[in-house]
Structure 1
């Protein structure tokens, strides 16, 4: 929370909630979150998200969460029955945060019991947030493979015209041997420059 210049390399995390959660303000921690590198690691979330970014911030002092890279990650499990909290790769932007410049690259997902590959939403969560997020910008998802199985469609959605999602690039995401297509993703309102290749 509210940390910068963080490197996480070569770890194994099995957790009963989010494995890696990157927020701005939370409890006594206050400030932006910038420059994270998470590499060569294995994540296993029994419940919730293996990776979750952006939910907590400051209603009164808008924060920025930016320049986060997740590379060469194995996700062994993602199991969440509440659709609002699904997403092996999740950006749940709330509390007046602006989330931008995020890269998910070379990620292998072994098992999703209940969930989806990615969930990128600007939202107001009445349980955890005091305000909606300010937006999600410039996200790259590249070379992600989900082994096989039934999953919910991934989601990309903004909150309002001034709290939108912009610049999402999905490149070589596969379910088994099948390449993910644009119509496999639920694209909500206030999304601009969304590309799947």
Structure 2
């Protein structure tokens, strides 16, 4: 999971992996009737250079993240999915990561459609619909379902070609890890609506 990788704990990758572009795969994914559409797209461009600012400090503080976030800009490694910001609670192994999925978008496999396509091709075997976040469609997505062990990886479609990943880790189980991810996701949508 990228969250744990940022924390130096594990080399696993999350549901924000960058699927290889394939015109037939991306076009079939985008026409998949199971892929929810975004009716009112949000613009995250303002936060691409400052991804930590997409989550209000008050939301982070309520989850006990008081240290500044660590920014990872676009590169060939973790940042390939897009700019990200990660937070951790020192000494507890609890972490939160937000990735603005511009990398997938720029390769033509962005948004939830690209993630559904990666799932269909077996790149991300675990996919399950998640509760909508402030009216925006969301999915749980990962290499495997790690929610029971306290890691929740969700993606929210903010435009048909852009998803934002929220990954929580180090929690006690599914309920608290996904509740934390949902809280951060809701704060992101509120931020983008007000931008």
Q: Larger RCO: Structure 1 or Structure 2 (Cα < 8 Å, ≥ 6 residues apart)?
A: 2
By the TM > 0.5 criterion, same fold? Answer: no
Structure (1/2) with the larger helix percentage:
2
TM-score in terms of structure 2 length: 0.29
- TM-score, length-normalised on structure 1? 0.28
